[in-house]
Each structure stands twice: as C-alpha cells, then as structure tokens.
C-alpha cells in the first residue's frame, strides 16, 4: 500500500503523504459525522495522494523517489523492503504518522508547513547534488516535481491554518505542531549525519557504504 | 500516570515498565477471553509494575530514577515534564511502546531479553559512574535495584520465551523482537552521543549543558 510504503521508504520529503495517511486515519476515528464536515479538507488534500501515488499515466512521487534510489546505485527492492534503513529514521517517521493520526486536523495540516521553506531548500539541494554527485542527476525528478507541488501545498495549508486558528490557543497548537515536525526532520538529519559523516558509525543492520557501494 | 512517565522520562533502563505497559495495552485489545488465558503472564509481570511504581513503603524504580536525575544537578520537574529530552530518544521509546502494544505476547516478552546482559553492564556502569562522576554516587540506587531485579526478570522472561516458542517461526519472532529492542536501545545511545559527545550538537530545544549546567 503506497502510503505505508512512503512511511517506510521515508525521507524528509514524504511530509505530505504521511500527513495524508494520518489525516485519513484520524478521520475514521472521528466517525462519520465529522468526516462529512471535513469533506472539504479531504478534497483539498486528495491532490497530495495523487501527487505521490501517481495518476496512472505518469509517475508519482513514490515512483520518482524509487528512481532516485536507483540513481544512487541501490535497488528499488532494498528501499521497498526498508532494508538497511536507519532505525532512528524509522522511529522518527513513525512518530510523525502517530502525530498526525492522533492530533487534530489543525495540527496535522500545520505540521506540513515545513514545506513553506521547501522551494529555496530544494533548489539549493538540487544544485549541490548535481555538483557533488553528478551521477545522481538523472534521478532528481522527485525534487523537480516537489518544487511546484510543495509551493502549492503549503500555500493551501497556510491559508487553511490561518483560517482555522483564530484564537491564541489554536495558534499555539499550530505552532507546536510545526515545531514538532521540525524536531522530526531534524532527528532524521542528525541520525544520517551520525551514521555516515561524523563520527560515521552506522548501527548494526543499517546500510554500510564501504561494503555495499 | 507512572507508566507513561516512565516512557517519557525514559532511558535504556525502563525496559520492563514499557514492556509492562505494552502488554497491558495488548491485553485489552485482545478481549476478555484472551485476558483469562494470559492471566499467568500478567501475574508474573505484575512484579515489574511494583518494581517501578513502588509498593507504597519504599521507593520504586521511577522514584529512584528521579533521584538519579537530581543527583546530576537537574530538577525532577524537568524530567517529569520531559523538558529538554532529545526528540530521537522520545521517538525510540514511542517505537518501543508501539512494538510491545501491537506485537504478540511472545514478542513483547522476548524484547525484554536485553536484560540478560544487564548485570554485567550495570556493574561496569556503576563502577565507571563512581569513577568519572563521583558526585552522582548518592543517586545510583536505581542501578543497585536493577542488579537484582533485572536478573530475576530476565530469568523468568527467558524461560517463558523458551517454553512459548517451540517452533522455528516463533523462535524467529522472538529473535527479531530482541533484535528490534537492541535497535531501539542503540538509537538512544547514538542520539545521546551525537548530541553531547561527537559532534556534540544538541538539537534545538534539547538540554544544553553549557547554558543549563
């Protein structure tokens, strides 16, 4: 199931599909009457599912991510099985799914606002990836797609949060959700840095560049 | 609620209370008929709850852990609020609670088997703590208690797992559970090392020794 896959394949870029999965789970929990009132949110959020699953004619974000995996020289099967994933990455992604599943819709949507800063970051990232890892350049479609998608998504999310957080209490909840999401992304980057840069100690069972690349 | 506290206060030593909390949650999910058949496990596991919550006459593991916190110079309030906790630690503990809540009893019990190695490790740890951090020596009761408790607990757990994993499939499940628990402990230690030793970059919002100690 693609949404589960996106949570295990994982990366800081799977923000929107995790949020979508969580919102859906939360919807079921809240029962039918609430589902009807949140129909408009679901409709708006639907685009994100299609962005990641694809529409059947062109590849979605998950497929593009797998192509990026292949461009690095790893197999898509490895990614689909989450083989070699850093446990810390898995726990952080689980924490995100848990956060958006059990939180309010306001918190779930607000947690996606890290994408407000995506455009500049993705542009910089693509430049540097092409510069330092030229062999990856054929696998960067995921990021190209996100340049447009993330901008549209976060514009919707920001206006939705502003509209649905009129009180200080709700604004604090939205702020805390964005903060929590930043912690989740930060923890993933720290784990990656620890394992592969400094001190460069991948935990047992995690991908070992020296042996596998 | 003490069991929740133990999950947020956290440490590699809260193994048994997390497992207990998870087993209880799993029990409720499985319904009354299953609860009756697992009564014997619950009875055996009950000791762990008392070990951590205390029996009302002498301090339990949670209270002793808070005294260790105080011996470091931090306030118990800080620990109870999880203020300054490393997000990666929180996610790893959440992953453990999730693991024992959704897994089978066999997996939950097997995941506690990391304590098989506790006695030697705790003895070494206490020696080194006294040597390098002499001011902590008044706060080591938690570890003293665990020396005996962990040994008893893991003897029960090992014999229970051996008895309840007669087939290769069950043995593989038990092995995978112990392996998953090792990942969880390892991730916590790596996060601690990354934040405070090398490269020594605590994430935003986490405890900052330079400013707070």
pLDDT in tens, B107-158: 999 999 999 989 999 999 999 999 999 999 999 999 999 998 888 889 999 9
- Residue A11, pLDDT above cutoff 70: no
Q: Which residues of B touch A (CB under 8 A)?
A: 87-88, 90-92, 94-95, 98, 179, 182-184, 186-187, 190-191, 193-195, 198-199, 201, 203-205
pLDDT band per the 50, 70, 90 thresholds, residue A150:
confident
pLDDT in tens, B152-202: 889 999 999 999 999 999 999 999 999 999 999 999 999 999 999 999 999
For the cut 90, the answer to whether the pLDDT of residue A167 exceeds it is yes
Residue A18 in this model has a pLDDT that exceeds 70: no
Task: With CB atoms and an 8 Å threshold, state whether A203 touches B184.
Answer: no
**Which residue of A lies nearest to B202 if distances are taken between CA atoms?**
A190
Residue A5 reports pLDDT greater than 60: no
Give percent of chain A above pLDDT 90.
Answer: 69
* Whole-number pLDDT of residue A211: 53
Place of tokens 């009807």: A36
Cα torsion through A16, A147, A142, A162, rounded to 10: 0
Read off the pLDDT band of B2 (50, 70, 90). very low
What's the CA gap between B53 and B49, in Å, rounded?
6
Share of chain B above pLDDT 70, in %: 81
Higher pLDDT, A7 or B51: B51
Q: How many CA atoms lie within 13 A of B13 on its CB side?
A: 24
Determine which of A95-104, A204-213, B18-27 has the lowest per-residue pLDDT on average. B18-27
Contact of A206 with A86, CB cutoff 8 Å = yes
- Angle (nearest 5°) at CA B66 between B61 and B71: 120
The C-alpha of A192 sits at a distance from chain B's nearest C-alpha, in angstroms, of 11
**pLDDT tier at B17 (50, 70, 90 boundaries)?**
very low
Which of B88, B184, B198 comes nearest A191 by C-beta?
A: B88
Asked whether residue A13 carries a pLDDT value surpassing 80, the answer given is: no
Domain boundaries, chain A: 39-196
Distance from CA of B100 to the nearest CA of A (A): 14
Decide: B73 and B165 in contact? Cβ < 8 Å.
Answer: no
For the domain B39-196, what is the CATH code? 1.20.910.10
The most confident of the ranges A34-38, B36-40, B188-192 is B188-192
Question: Are the C-beta atoms of residues B172 and B106 closer than 8 Å to each other?
Answer: no
> Which residues 6+ apart lie within 8 Å of A185 measured at CB?
A12, A92, A114
ipTM of the shown complex: 0.80
pLDDT for the residue A180? 97
Give the number of other CB atoms < 10 A from CB of residue A114. 19
pLDDT of residue A7: 35
- Per the prediction, chain B carries an average pLDDT of 85
Distance of residue B138 Cα from the nearest chain A Cα, in angstroms: 33
pLDDT-based confidence at A26, cuts 50/70/90? low
């Amino acid at each position: 199931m693609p949404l589960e896959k996106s949570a295990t394949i994982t990366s800081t870029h799977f923000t929107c599909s995790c949020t979508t999965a969580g919102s859906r789970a939360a919807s079921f929990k809240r029962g039918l009457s609430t589902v009807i009132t949140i129909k408009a949110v679901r409709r708006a959020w639907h685009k994100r599912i299609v962005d990641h699953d694809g529409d059947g004619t062109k590849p979605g974000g998950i497929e593009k991510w797998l192509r990026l995996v292949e461009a690095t020289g790893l197999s898509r099967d490895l990614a689909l099985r989450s083989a070699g994933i850093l446990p810390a990455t898995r726990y952080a992604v689980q924490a995100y799914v848990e956060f958006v599943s059990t939180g309010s819709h306001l918190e779930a949507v607000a947690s996606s606002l890290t994408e407000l800063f995506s455009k500049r970051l993705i542009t910089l990232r693509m430049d540097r990836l092409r510069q330092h890892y030229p062999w990856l350049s054929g696998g960067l479609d995921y990021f190209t797609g996100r340049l447009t998608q993330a901008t549209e998504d976060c514009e919707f999310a920001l206006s939705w949060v502003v509209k649905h957080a009129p009180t200080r209490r709700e604004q604090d909840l939205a702020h805390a959700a964005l903060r929590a999401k930043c912690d989740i992304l930060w923890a993933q980057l720290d784990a990656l840095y620890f394992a592969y840069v400094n001190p460069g100690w991948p935990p047992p069972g995690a991908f070992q560049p020296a042996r596998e690349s």
